[in-house]
Amino acid sequence: MKILVLGSGAREHAIVKALIRTGSVATNVICAPGNAGIAEDVACVPLNANDPASVVAFATAENINLTIIGPEAPLVAGVSDALRAAGVPVFGPSQRAAQLEGSKSFAKEIMAAADVPTGMAHECSTIEEVESALDDFGAPYVVKADGLAAGKGVIVTSDREAALEHARKFIHMGILVEEFLAGQEVSLFFLADGKNVMPLTPAQDFKRAYDHDEGPNTGGMGAYSPLPWLPAGFVEEVQRTVAQPTIDELARLGEPFVGLLYCGLIVTNRGIRVIEFNARFGDPETQVVLRRLLTPLAGLLHSAATGNLETAPEPRFTDEVAITVVLASEGYPDKTAPNRPIHGLHHAAAVNGVEICHAATAIDGDHLIATGGRVLSVVAVGKDFQHARKHAYEAIGHIKLEGSHFRTDIAKKVAK
C-alpha cells in the first residue's frame, strides 16, 4: 500500500513511525510537507497540504492508495472532499463534517440532537452577551473561540477581566461561554467509517505551559497512556453514549464522518461529559497512543477510509506504558523565538525505550534548527510510569536548545 501523510508536526511524525513500526514499508510512505525529522524516516515532498488541487494531482500521479490527513487545516480547506471525488481513499472527514472541530456551536448542535452529554453553553456574538453569560455561570469562567485557534482558543480562569480579554481577542469568530466542569480529563480517539466507530486507547494530555497546570493554555505539553485510574467499562460507555450517537447524527444529516473522531472528555461527579470534539488525531496524545499500538495502522485506517471498519481487527496495544514530554521554544505559547540550533538528539534517541518525534525543525546548512513553538516530542515506553518517566527525562536532558522549556510533571501522579 502506498501512503501519503499530510502535515509537518510531531503528530505526523508519530503516524509515520507507527505505520513503519506496525508493518508498512518506509519506501511506500510519503509525507507532505514533513520536517527535518520525518525526512530521516521517509521521503518528504514540498507540497501545500492545504491546497486540494495540488494534493489530488500528487496523489493521483503517485498512485497513492491511502491519504492520511494529520492537521485540521487541510480538512477545513476541503482536501478530503477533493481526494474522495478523485477516487483516492482518504482518512479524514469532509469539510462539512470537520466543522465538528471547526465550529464549537456546530458541535453543540450535533450533541444536542444526538443527546450526547456535555456542559451548558451560551453562544455570544457581542462582548455584552459574553459579560451576561459570565455572570450567569460565575467563576471559574470557560470562554471558547467558535473556530480554529491552534489549541489557543480556550481560556479557563477565575479572573473575569482575563476572560473578557480572551473574548475580545476572538469575538470575530464568535464565542461560547460554558459552565465550568470539574474532574479528570480524558482524550479518547475513535476510528470512524461513516457508520461505525472503533476505539483506540485512552490518554491524558497536559495543556498548561508549566508544571502544576500553571501558565497559559498551549497545544499540549505532554501526555501519557494508558490511564490506570479510569473505571471499568469507560471506553464502552463513551462509545455508546458519545461516539456512536455523534457519528449516527452526522450520517442522518448526510455528512458521514470518515476519519478520526477525537473525544475530549471530562469525568465529573455527574458522569462523563464532552468538552470538545476534534476531527483528527490529537497532538501530543497521538505520540503515546500510537507508540503502544501493535495492530497494523495502515490496515485500520484504510478500513475506515473505505467503509469497512466492521471487518477490521480490534486494535491491540502493548502492556507497556508510554509518556511524551514536549520541548518548546523560549516564550511559547505567547511569543515566537528566533530559529535556533538544536544539539544532543543522537544521545537522546539512544536512551532505552525512547523515540523522538519532530514538530518544528528544519536543516540549515549543517545544523538542525528549531523553527516554531513546540519543537520536539520525546516519547518513552517502559514497564510502568516510573520507568517511562525516567527514560523520557533522561533523554530530554541530553537535548540543548537555548531558552527552551518543558514540563517536569508529565505522568508524575500515576508513577508509583
pTM value surpassing 0.75: yes
Q: Is residue 100 part of a domain?
A: no
What angle do helix axes 160-170 and 127-137 make, rounded to 10 degrees? 140
Closest CA to 343 of 406, 403, 404, 401: 401
Q: Is residue 143 part of a domain?
A: yes
Average pLDDT of the segment spanning 115-129: 93
> What digits encode the pLDDT tens for the residues 367-414?
999 999 999 999 999 999 999 999 999 999 999 999 999 999 999 999
Q: Is residue 129 part of a domain?
A: yes
Residues 115 and 81: their CA atoms lie apart, in Å, by: 28
Q: Is residue 302 part of a domain?
A: yes
142: left (phi over 0), alpha (psi -120 to 50) or beta: beta
Q: Name the H helices within 77-194.
A: 79-85, 99-102, 104-114, 127-137, 160-170
Q: Is residue 382 part of a domain?
A: yes
Q: Is residue 96 part of a domain?
A: no
150 pLDDT band, cuts 50/70/90, is: low
298 pLDDT band, cuts 50/70/90, is: very high
193 and 305 both lie in a single domain: yes
352 and 304 both lie in a single domain: no
Domain tally for the chain?
A: 4
283 and 194 both lie in a single domain: yes
Residues 362 and 368: their CA atoms lie apart, in Å, by: 6
Closest CA to 151 of 225, 73, 92: 73
407 and 299 both lie in a single domain: no
Average pLDDT of the segment spanning 108-129: 93
Could you tell me the CATH number of the domain that includes residue 271?
3.30.470.20
Residues 6 or more apart in contact with residue 161 via CB below 8 angstroms: none
Could you tell me the CATH number of the domain that includes residue 62?
3.40.50.20
What domain range is 53 assigned to? 3-91
62 and 82 both lie in a single domain: yes
The confidence score (pLDDT) of residue 151 equals: 60
> What digits encode the pLDDT tens for the residues 159-186?
999 999 999 999 998 999 999 999 999 9
Q: Is residue 228 part of a domain?
A: yes
Amino acid, single-letter form, for residue 79: V
The confidence score (pLDDT) of residue 203 equals: 98
Could you tell me the CATH number of the domain that includes residue 174?
3.30.1490.20
Strands 321-328 and 222-225, bridge-based pairing: antiparallel
187 and 242 both lie in a single domain: yes
